[in-house]
Structure 1
Amino acid sequence: MTARYRARPPSPGAPARPATASRPTAGLLPWLVGAVAGVLALGPALGRGYVLRYDMLFVPELSLPAVLAGTDGFPRAIPSDAVVAALTLLLPGDVVQTLALLAVFTLGGAGAFRLLVRLSGPLLAARLPDAPQGAVLAAGAAAGVAYVWNPFVAERLLLGQWAVLLGYAGLPWVLGAVVRLASARPTAGLAGLVCSLVPAAVGGFSSVVLSALTAGPQALAGPRRCRNAALFVFALALVSLPWLLPSLTSGAATDPAGAEAFAARSDTPFGVLGSLLLLGGVWNSGAVPPGYGEPVTALARLLLCAVSLTGWAWWLWRSRPAVGIGLSVSAALGFGVALLGVSAPGREFLAALIGLWPGFGPLRDGQLYLAPLALVQALGLGAVVLWLLRVLALWRVVAVVFLVLAPVVVLPGLLWGAGGRLSPVAYPGEWLAAQEAVAADDRPGAVLILPWSAYRGLDWSGEPVVVLDPATKLFDRRTLWNDDLSVGTADGGRVVVTGEDARAREAARLLEPDPESGLPGPELLADPDALAELLGGLGVRYVAVSAPVDNRFWSGAEELSVVVEGVDLTLLEVSDQHINADKDDISGLEVTGGLVTVGAIIWSMARSGSSLGFQRPQPQTVRGARKEIPK
């Protein structure tokens, strides 16, 4: 005898898992989709050597103590650099870079794929009962490809902001973890949240801000909103400690001029508003992928965005997915922030906010906050695929294949390392010799980086594009370098955003560097020994001149000796009698904060049994399903 009963419907906020494919296939395919997209996008960047482009700077044997000691500015790169430095203890630096870049596409593609699969259960059961087996996998593939292959990813990748993109890749996982809070016990829910926030923890403060924007409204939209919001805020605080605690004592100030410098700009024929809707509009024209702004490709991208947004609206109307309201609010808020810098009143408002409190500084790069809209468009494209596959037919299959590949078709400029723009190179021998010479010296003292310019073109870097001076991260001690940023404006002018490192500003005041050459002022060049005494007073033991320059300020100087001399890098040592330097110590409070974050991540992984927040869902059945229990 068997007893039959009608299964209880799933609780609100806990989407049913569709039974459309076997678990092994559904578990492997999301990762495969993301990995293949990554290989196609990165191409030559996956080879040996270092890809150097704008903010993307990896060096051989990045020093972990130097990273943890930090600087006097805002600790933007401490989490990502600390993880890279720790990994380079086990792997070569270029291999670490390859894994980091590939992780962006693999995590992001798999996350969007799995989120679509989890959310599509009610839609398939209630609205599309005739959908064939495997339809949800095709929809997931479309969502995964669209999430990692769009202008937002391309432009941030060409800016070299791999850490930001790692946090972006984690957003679908964070959103899924917040959805599960509605049906999970507090401890299990917190563990899942912390796990899902691991990419944001590595990415740093911008990634944490994006996570808060993307999943915060969802935490407030579902059931048990007060408890969920409290757990979400607590999880964000836990993973933020490595950069949050140093920022409280850094004394950094944010220049309000950044509101104009980093405002979104048009990179398509549709103006700034249209460019943002297409997930473009980055402030740096050098980061626009090749061919993207052409009328044909821009129009094709516009059509794809329209289809995706229509699919999202249809999904909201037909089945009200668990993340529908929350993610829609996040996308609207992010789009509004991106628009703030477009108009003069908006820029003035942003500048006033930043002047009032430096914590508003992250709002200056408005285009960054299009990330939730990118997830909306990816899920919307997946919904369109689900609709097309209601009944299996040849033309629908062709249409689905086209939609899955459409993000690649309309953005071919991202293919194979953005047409070769992401090509790895090797560090010249003199750079490695200078690194070894400084590492062999256990005496305290900083390294001054000249010329006094943060970004420069390197003759040996392959692609003719500026990059953050590798000497700023090459050595195992504190470096003093010009962290000001000069940005060209749309009208042909330039805006200089003042750096945040107080000690670097003091060095600039004393050195009075020449704006053209970036070398110390004429009076100091005429008296090298006086220059050496000034450098010693700043706590500088070495000077790294990382460009071919006139050597007149050290030739014949008794107090400046050449340690390494090459074509485009010379390492000078200041006479020991002038050095007034203390060893850079790591703050105990900052170490404690980092240990708390690492401990919380380890606990969350052990508690959830997962490296991210997508634990295997418990078997659920949808309304109307029948189950037989043997008697």
Structure 2
Amino acid sequence: MVTAPLLAPGYLLLRDAVSTPRSYLSDAALGLTQAAPRALPQDFAIALASQVLDGGVLVKLLLILGLWLAGWGAARLVAHVLPDSGLGGQLVAATLAIWNPYVAERLLQGHWSLLVGYGCLPWVATAMLARRHWQLVFWVALAGLTPTGLVLAAIVALVCCRTWRDIGVTAAAAVASALPWLAAATVADSLSSTAGAGVTAFAARAEPGLGTLGSLAGLGGIWNAQAVPDSRTTLFALVATAVLLAVVAVGLPVALRHREARPLLVLAAVAVLVPAVLATGPGLAALDWLTRSVPGLGLLRDGQKWVALALPGYVLAAAGVARLGRAVTVVCCVALIAVLPDLAFGVAGKVRPVQYPAGWAAVAAIIDADPRPVAVLPPDSMRQFSWAGPAPVLDPLPRWVSAEVLSSGDLVIGGQTVPGEGARGRAATRLLLDGASRDELAAAGVGWVVVEAGAAPLDLPLTYRDADIALYDVGGSAPTAAGRPLLIGAHLVWLLTLAGAGVVAAFGCRFRPRR
């Protein structure tokens, strides 16, 4: 019901979601750029897998898998912790895990890999509570497609720990999964300590009729007001939140009676309260100081994404409504869906594949045949393509070519510019905007210039141009970044952790004796 549009041909291209036919093990995919390694080891995994499977198909399958895992994992967690709730409790839990504002808003923001990590959280909790350590390692590594997913999974696992061995296994899995971005940050020195500039722009946001705390408690409140379902932009958001919280509250007493559920219920409360506090004036000031003072803590800016930690506790509490009978269980499932009707069919058709114009493939092929550094216009990180729908999207070029794409990473949010970490990209863009000559651009290490989205043509040697994209040959080059073998090794550690733990866990389930 949610992902049906993704079954159509095409590529997911919506805000932060960028899929391309092919990706490469470029410096960007390994984290050897000035930008913070926010998409590792995701980009490495997509680059490997797209050698055998079209990248657009791969991203869509992973997104569908993430939501499937969320619902299935919620049911498994309930079956382990609240076995008396039966099938009814599992169905309520699965419905809440998939059909909620967090999923809708992250779909609209294009955070498909975050939703994969979100889908792993109930599996992480179940594996730790059942003391199935190899399964735990697998789910932590899978959630570790992104740094945020790994942190979410590690926190859930630690909350469920009982022994020092549990803590040790969690720490080992987290370190092995974090090696790609830890190594990249060390080698490329890309952890900026100036991320506080975007703290206010990325803070959790109050929705109509709800304060920030109420929005977060209802699993909404994303910072981007444009990435919100239409039903959450009116006072109906108040009704929807009341229904979701009522389902959770009615079943909460049942969940509280089970010892294994209590740490996850406490975590759910903390996951709502802390982002709400950080969205206040003093909270923003503290977070601004922290992210400016400690490199790497820009990860904390998007406060609402941490509400995902409430998922295991919420589904356990919701499952408790099954004690009131089958009729109440059905009503709760229907009510959760009814108060968010526009999550259906790709959030009312907004999450759907698009087709690239032919010129993009032609330009990518030319650059890949001679992968020199690429400067891009327009200067902003976000693009507005007429063929990709009304929503803006991150520039797809860095994920499509094997060459380094020089970008500043600057974002404009509500009229405020949030600076990125790309100093070289910012310098190259300034040269282009100032009308620099070919020799000046080449001396600055620019090999190609790509002009997208109908920007004005340049007085440079033209290699390709159509109505959608133009390519200019500048002729410059740059030395190969150092540290590729180390970064590839770090990524392989993550990949072997994921695959090895998966195989061992699968064989453990296959041969575990029945009780």
**TM-score, reference length from structure 2:** 0.94
**For 1:76 and 1:241, how far apart are their aligned partners in 2?**
13
Q: Which residue of 2 aligns with 1:44?
A: 5
SS in 2 for 1:482: coil
1:238-285 Cα deviation digits (max 9, x unpaired)? 111111210123323142122111011112312211111101011101
CA shift, 1:614, in A, is 7.7
**For 1:284 and 1:486, how far apart are their aligned partners in 2?**
12
Corresponding residue to 1:589 among 458, 467, 486: 486
1:436 aligns with 2:369: no
1:605 aligns with 2:511: no
1:517-551 Cα deviation digits (max 9, x unpaired)? xx512xxx2xxxx5322221232111110121222
Alignment of 1:426-465 (within 5 A): 426-441=355-370, 445-461=372-388, 463-465=389-391
Q: Which residue of 2 aligns with 1:357?
A: 294
1:520 aligns with 2:433: yes
**For 1:167 and 1:145, how far apart are their aligned partners in 2?**
18
Q: Which residue of 2 aligns with 1:388?
A: 324
**For 1:289 and 1:614, how far apart are their aligned partners in 2?**
40
Corresponding residue to 1:279 among 203, 208, 219: 219
CA shift, 1:342, in A, is 2.0
CA shift, 1:598, in A, is 1.8
* Contact persistence 2:14–2:110 (CA under 8 A): yes
Q: Which residue of 2 aligns with 1:291?
A: 231
CA shift, 1:56, in A, is 0.4
**For 1:91 and 1:617, how far apart are their aligned partners in 2?**
34
Q: Which residue of 1 aligns with 2:174?
A: 236
Counterpart AA for 2:106: R
CA shift, 1:217, in A, is 2.0
Corresponding residue to 1:408 among 329, 337, 348: 337
Q: Which residue of 1 aligns with 2:351?
A: 422
Q: Which residue of 2 aligns with 1:113?
A: 75
SS in 2 for 1:294: coil
Q: 1:336 to 1:247 in 2, by over 3 A?
A: farther
1:539 aligns with 2:445: yes
**For 1:200 and 1:87, how far apart are their aligned partners in 2?**
17
Corresponding residue to 1:261 among 184, 201, 220: 201
Q: Which residue of 2 aligns with 1:569?
A: 469
Alignment of 1:296-375 (within 5 A): 296=236, 298-317=238-257, 320-322=258-260, 324-375=261-312
**For 1:571 and 1:549, how far apart are their aligned partners in 2?**
12
CA shift, 1:504, in A, is 2.3
Counterpart AA for 1:471: L
Q: Which residue of 1 aligns with 2:91?
A: 141
Q: Higher mean Cα deviation, 266-275 or 301-310?
A: 301-310
CA shift, 1:615, in A, is 7.8
CA shift, 1:501, in A, is 2.6
1:208 aligns with 2:144: no
Q: Which residue of 2 aligns with 1:176?
A: 126
**For 1:152 and 1:79, how far apart are their aligned partners in 2?**
23
**For 2:456 and 2:497, how far apart are their aligned partners in 1?**
52
**For 1:303 and 1:381, how far apart are their aligned partners in 2?**
11
Q: Which residue of 2 aligns with 1:245?
A: 183
1:357-394 Cα deviation digits (max 9, x unpaired)? 02322221111111122332222111212x123xxxxx
* Contact persistence 1:290–1:418 (CA under 8 A): no
**For 1:617 and 1:142, how far apart are their aligned partners in 2?**
29
| Bigger Rg, which one | 1
Counterpart AA for 1:119: V
Alignment of 1:53-72 (within 5 A): 53-66=14-27, 67-68=29-30, 70-72=32-34
* Contact persistence 1:215–1:327 (CA under 8 A): no
**TM-score, reference length from structure 1:** 0.77
**For 2:97 and 2:31, how far apart are their aligned partners in 1?**
36
**For 1:471 and 1:458, how far apart are their aligned partners in 2?**
13
**For 1:93 and 1:212, how far apart are their aligned partners in 2?**
28
CA shift, 1:206, in A, is 0.7
Alignment of 1:88-167 (within 5 A): 88-121=50-83, 124=84, 136-167=86-117
Q: Which residue of 1 aligns with 2:428?
A: 507
SS in 2 for 1:256: helix
1:578-627 Cα deviation digits (max 9, x unpaired)? x24223455222122112222222321232226xx98887545xxxxxxx
**For 2:275 and 2:219, how far apart are their aligned partners in 1?**
10
Q: 1:243 to 1:500 in 2, by over 3 A?
A: same
**For 2:8 and 2:138, how far apart are their aligned partners in 1?**
30
**For 1:372 and 1:81, how far apart are their aligned partners in 2?**
24
**For 2:31 and 2:233, how far apart are their aligned partners in 1?**
43
SS in 2 for 1:453: coil
SS in 1 for 2:472: strand
1:9-57 Cα deviation digits (max 9, x unpaired)? xxxxxxxxxxxxxxxxxxxxxxxxxxxxxxx112212211012111000
1:468 aligns with 2:394: yes
Counterpart AA for 2:46: V
**For 1:280 and 1:415, how far apart are their aligned partners in 2?**
17
* Contact persistence 2:177–2:494 (CA under 8 A): yes
Q: 1:342 to 1:600 in 2, by over 3 A?
A: closer
CA shift, 1:437, in A, is 1.0
**For 2:212 and 2:301, how far apart are their aligned partners in 1?**
16
The count of aligned residue pairs is 512
SS in 1 for 2:354: coil
* Contact persistence 2:31–2:188 (CA under 8 A): no
Counterpart AA for 2:445: G
SS in 1 for 2:345: helix
Counterpart AA for 2:90: G
1:493-521 Cα deviation digits (max 9, x unpaired)? x322210233224435x52xxxxxxx512
Q: 1:250 to 1:505 in 2, by over 3 A?
A: farther
Instruction: Tell me how large the CA RMSD over aligned residues is.
Output: 2.1
Q: 1:180 to 1:501 in 2, by over 3 A?
A: farther
Q: 1:257 to 1:616 in 2, by over 3 A?
A: farther
* Contact persistence 2:31–2:181 (CA under 8 A): no
**For 2:222 and 2:406, how far apart are their aligned partners in 1?**
29
* Contact persistence 2:137–2:173 (CA under 8 A): yes
CA shift, 1:147, in A, is 0.6
1:440-481 Cα deviation digits (max 9, x unpaired)? 22xx521111111100210111x2011101223221111011
